[in-house]
Structure 1
Amino acid sequence: MLNKICQLSYDAGDIIMRIYKDNQFFSISQKVDHSPVTLADIEAHKVITKGLKKISPEIPILSEEDPPFWEQRRYWKTYWLVDPLDGTKEFIKRNGEFTVNIALIEEGKPVLGVIHAPALGVTYMGNVDKAWKQQDGHKTQIQVREARPPLVVISRSHADVDTELKDYLKRLGTHQTIALGSSLKFCFVAEGKAQLYPRFGSTNIWDTGAGHAIAVAAGAHVYDWQGKTLDYTPKKSFLNLGFRVSLF
């Protein structure tokens, strides 16, 4: 199953990169919530949903680009959670830090995750208690790693306006920071490059599902600020509370 989902993320990534490199098709519009959406978001969504229906026709799909109504999904126990193009702002800025996110949710928990960064040529994947990174044809198992001082990964697009984050970092003590876009922040903790990813601003469940699965598979913890693990049991709202990804 994991290999099939990886291949599907590559297929979506190919479509995204075709549009990324061709300014003729690089159109940008806004959703109802004023967040940006591009042709790449839509086309990647089509590729992924078509592929998932072939792989597992019995499992419903929740994609950012076509979220089902509450009455359709309120009793789901198992479902695919998809962000066809995570980091649309990074895509528009053309800095390469955008990803394809696909997660499998069972009983409110992400049990499988794939994050593919097509512009960077790297893929992260996790399943139960093992996680891997694939780059340049090499697939290696990854896991969290302690370091002093810790490296804290923060959002490239939101950190400058997040006063809660600034206050938190002041209290943290000696540390270093690095700013990244999209769900790559989860991946940096999962592979041991960073030790902490704190998030105070709002996210949606499709922003975190795949990264959550990979981070946990690599030995990390993903908790909200009340100490509870993020829960993906269907709710009317798609919003997450703030959270942290850490070694402890």
Structure 2
Amino acid sequence: MKTDSLARDLKSGKLHDILAETAEAAAELILPYWRADVEVLSKADDSPVTLADQRAEALILERLAAIWSSVPAVAEEQVAAQGAPETAATRYWLIDPLDGTRGFVQGKEAFTVNIALIEKGRPVAGVVTAPALSTTWRVSTQGAERRAFGEAWRPIRVRERPADGVALLSHSVSDEDAERLMRQNGCAVWQGMDSSLKFCLIAEGRFDVYPRVGPTSEWDTAAGQAVLEAAGGRVLGGDGQPLAYGKSGFLNGPFTALGG
């Protein structure tokens, strides 16, 4: 297909269906490795990688290329093996086949499959699937949606910030930094959580803010940001502007994901 067919598929909603089906197929591939005796290797940056990461990424890349062959992809394991592109294309996929690998190998549930479409530096479509939770969140033509595997889609929306708002934070944050970030963002309590699942739980109105001060890669955030923004939320960089994509090295600085 030519690239302009992607624009038609995005407008019609066909693209959203294909992304969800692809992410859930990757989840099905990943699950047999979860809580199993899977070999864990170290990448150049000392982050872990498993056969589940690699096989899921290969499946996603193959399916997307078969339909939209002219759209390039920036995918985590591909970048680890070959290096990141020097510049970003106007339109490309950002893929993290298994976000939260450390928790995955420890048998935790908060790991996700992430696929996003970037156009002119903005995430315009995205899907996040949590294999262990049998749940998918996606951008749709009407906003944002969630479904349990095999069930119907239902719309989701951020909630208005309550007086006792709840912050979601990475488990890597110290208790001292967590208390500081919680107060800075006007929240009464905080909860630790891994992976892009944080964006989705804010998008469906269960939590309120996710501040991040440590570095992340763009494929860690793009799909979750797309879902959260479609649900009425925002993801702001350190400059107060919406978090943009195609930065040097495909790396993010500090950001804050916000609900209502």
Kindly report which structure 2 residues correspond to 1:77-92, keeping only aligned pairs within 5 A, or say none. Answer: 77-92=90-105
1:44 paired with 2:59, answer: no
Kindly report which structure 2 residues correspond to 1:51-200, keeping only aligned pairs within 5 A, or say none. Answer: 51-67=63-79, 69=83, 72=85, 74=87, 76-127=89-140, 130-135=143-148, 137-146=151-160, 147-156=162-171, 158-160=172-174, 164-173=177-186, 175-200=188-213
Taking the aligned partners of 2:58 and 2:187, their CA distance within structure 1 comes to 45
1:33 is matched with which residue? 45
User: What is the percentage of aligned positions where both structures have the same residue?
Assistant: 36
Deviation at 1:224, TM superposition (A): 1.3
The C-alpha deviation readout for 1:33-61, integer Å capped at 9, x for no partner, is 00111111111111111011012111001
- Secondary structure, counterpart of 1:188 in structure 2: helix
Q: Which moved more, 1:221-230 or 1:94-103?
A: 221-230
Return 5+ residue gaps in structure 2 as ranges.
1-14
> RMSD across aligned C-alpha pairs, in angstroms?
1.8
1:213 paired with 2:243, answer: no
Alignment CA distance shift 1:31-1:151 (3 Å): same
- The amino acid that maps onto 1:15 is L
Taking the aligned partners of 2:98 and 2:51, their CA distance within structure 1 comes to 10
Question: Scaled by the length of structure 2, what TM-score is found?
Answer: 0.87
Taking the aligned partners of 1:173 and 1:130, their CA distance within structure 2 comes to 27
How many residue pairs get matched? Answer: 242
The C-alpha deviation readout for 1:82-125, integer Å capped at 9, x for no partner, is 00000001101111110000000000000001000011111000
- The amino acid that maps onto 1:87 is G
Alignment CA distance shift 1:243-1:235 (3 Å): closer
Return 5+ residue gaps in structure 1 as ranges.
none
- Secondary structure, counterpart of 2:219 in structure 1: helix
Question: Scaled by the length of structure 1, what TM-score is found?
Answer: 0.91
Taking the aligned partners of 1:55 and 1:109, their CA distance within structure 2 comes to 22
1:8 paired with 2:22, answer: yes
